[in-house]
Structure 1
Amino acid sequence: MNLFDLTLQFKGFPIKEARKRIAETNAISESDFSIFTEQLKSEIVGYHLRENTFYKKFAATVNISSWEDIPILKKEHIQIPLEERVSNGFSKKNTYQGRTSGSSGTPLVYAKDHFCHAMTWAHIMDRFGWYGIDFNTSYQARFYGIPLDTKGYYKERIKDTLANRHRFSIFDLSDTKLEAFLNTFRRKKFDYINGHTSSIVLFSKFLQQKGIILTSVCPTLRTCVVTSEMLFEDDKKLMEQQLGVPVINEYGASELDLIAFTNKEGNLQLNNQTVFVEIVDSNGNVVPHGQTGHIVVTSFYNKAHPFIRYDIGDLGTIDPSSTSKKPILKGLEGRANDMAHLANGKTVPGHTFYYVTKTALGSDSLVKEFVITQNDVETFTISYVSERELIASEIKSLEVALQLYLKTSVKLKHKKVDSLDRSTNGKLKQFVSLLK
Structure 2
Amino acid sequence: MISLFDITLRLNGFPINKAKAELTEIINLSEEEYAVFLENKKNEIVDFHLKNNAFYSELINGKIVEKWEDLPILNKQNLQKPLSERLSTGYSIKNVYLNKTSGSSGTPFVFAKDKYAHALTWASNIMRFGWFGIDFNKSYQARFYGIPMDFMGYRKERLKDFLSSRFRFPVFDLSNDVLDKFLQKFKTKKFDYLNGYTSSIVLLAKYLEQKNIILKEVCPTLKACFVTSEMLFESDKKLLEKQFGIPIINEYGASELDLIAFENPKGEWQVNAETLFVEILDENNNPVPNGTEGKIVITSLFNKANPFIRYEIGDIGILDEKSTPQKPILKKLVGRTNDVAVLPSGKKSPGLTFYYVTKSIIEDDGNVKEFIIKQTKIDCFEIEYVSEKELDNSQIEKIEAAIALYLEPNLNFTFTRKAVLERTNRGKLKQFKSFI
Q: When the two structures are superposed, what TM-score results if normalisation uses the length of structure 1?
A: 0.98
The one-letter code matched in structure 1 to 2:222 is L
* Matching residue of 2:276: 275
Provide, for residues 383-436 of structure 1, a one-character-per-residue CA deviation record: whole Å limited to 9, x for no partner.
Answer: 10011111111111111121122122211101110001111111100111111x
- In the TM superposition, residue 308 of structure 1 has moved relative to its aligned partner by 0.3
Alpha-carbon distance in 2 for matches of 1:28, 1:4: 28
* Matching residue of 2:168: 167
Alpha-carbon distance in 1 for matches of 2:140, 2:79: 38
Task: State the SS of the aligned residue for 1:92.
Answer: coil
* Matching residue of 1:220: 221
- In the TM superposition, residue 203 of structure 1 has moved relative to its aligned partner by 0.5
Alpha-carbon distance in 2 for matches of 1:5, 1:158: 16
Task: State the SS of the aligned residue for 2:305.
Answer: coil
* Matching residue of 1:389: 390
The one-letter code matched in structure 2 to 1:138 is S
Task: State the SS of the aligned residue for 2:48.
Answer: helix
Which sits farther off after the overlay, 11-20 or 64-73? Answer: 64-73
8 Å contact kept, 2:363–2:369: no
* Matching residue of 1:145: 146
* Matching residue of 1:302: 303
* Matching residue of 2:79: 78
- 1:58 aligned onto 2:59: yes
* Matching residue of 2:92: 91
* Matching residue of 1:243: 244
* Matching residue of 2:410: 409
Task: State the SS of the aligned residue for 1:202.
Answer: helix
Gaps of 5+ in 1: none
The one-letter code matched in structure 2 to 1:183 is Q
Alpha-carbon distance in 2 for matches of 1:286, 1:107: 27
- In the TM superposition, residue 365 of structure 1 has moved relative to its aligned partner by 2.9
- 1:211 aligned onto 2:212: yes
Alpha-carbon distance in 2 for matches of 1:61, 1:356: 49
The one-letter code matched in structure 1 to 2:11 is F
8 Å contact kept, 1:422–1:429: yes
- Mapping 1:260-409, distance limit 5 Å: 260-409=261-410
* Matching residue of 2:129: 128
Task: State the SS of the aligned residue for 1:78.
Answer: coil
Alpha-carbon distance in 1 for matches of 2:340, 2:244: 32
Alpha-carbon distance in 1 for matches of 2:23, 2:288: 29
8 Å contact kept, 1:62–1:70: no
* Matching residue of 1:19: 20
- In the TM superposition, residue 63 of structure 1 has moved relative to its aligned partner by 4.1
Task: State the SS of the aligned residue for 1:351.
Answer: helix
Distance 1:330 1:156, change over 3 A: same
Task: State the SS of the aligned residue for 2:381.
Answer: strand
Alpha-carbon distance in 2 for matches of 1:218, 1:359: 31
Alpha-carbon distance in 2 for matches of 1:295, 1:42: 20
- In the TM superposition, residue 361 of structure 1 has moved relative to its aligned partner by 2.5
The one-letter code matched in structure 1 to 2:415 is H
Task: State the SS of the aligned residue for 2:94.
Answer: helix
Alpha-carbon distance in 1 for matches of 2:63, 2:267: 39
Which sits farther off after the overlay, 298-307 or 393-402? Answer: 393-402
- In the TM superposition, residue 127 of structure 1 has moved relative to its aligned partner by 0.7
The one-letter code matched in structure 2 to 1:122 is A
- In the TM superposition, residue 32 of structure 1 has moved relative to its aligned partner by 1.6
8 Å contact kept, 1:224–1:247: yes
- In the TM superposition, residue 3 of structure 1 has moved relative to its aligned partner by 0.3
Provide, for residues 241-272 of structure 1, a one-character-per-residue CA deviation record: whole Å limited to 9, x for no partner.
Answer: 00111100010110000000001110100000
Q: When the two structures are superposed, what TM-score results if normalisation uses the length of structure 2?
A: 0.98
The one-letter code matched in structure 1 to 2:368 is V
Task: State the SS of the aligned residue for 2:131.
Answer: helix
8 Å contact kept, 1:42–1:64: no
- In the TM superposition, residue 64 of structure 1 has moved relative to its aligned partner by 4.5
Alpha-carbon distance in 2 for matches of 1:93, 1:264: 39
The one-letter code matched in structure 2 to 1:230 is M
Alpha-carbon distance in 2 for matches of 1:301, 1:359: 42
8 Å contact kept, 1:256–1:299: yes
The one-letter code matched in structure 1 to 2:205 is S
The one-letter code matched in structure 2 to 1:142 is R
Paired residues in the alignment total: 435
* Matching residue of 2:45: 44
Task: State the SS of the aligned residue for 1:219.
Answer: coil
- In the TM superposition, residue 284 of structure 1 has moved relative to its aligned partner by 1.1
* Matching residue of 1:429: 430
Alpha-carbon distance in 2 for matches of 1:30, 1:204: 41
8 Å contact kept, 2:60–2:71: yes
Task: State the SS of the aligned residue for 1:304.
Answer: coil
The one-letter code matched in structure 1 to 2:174 is L
8 Å contact kept, 1:361–1:398: yes
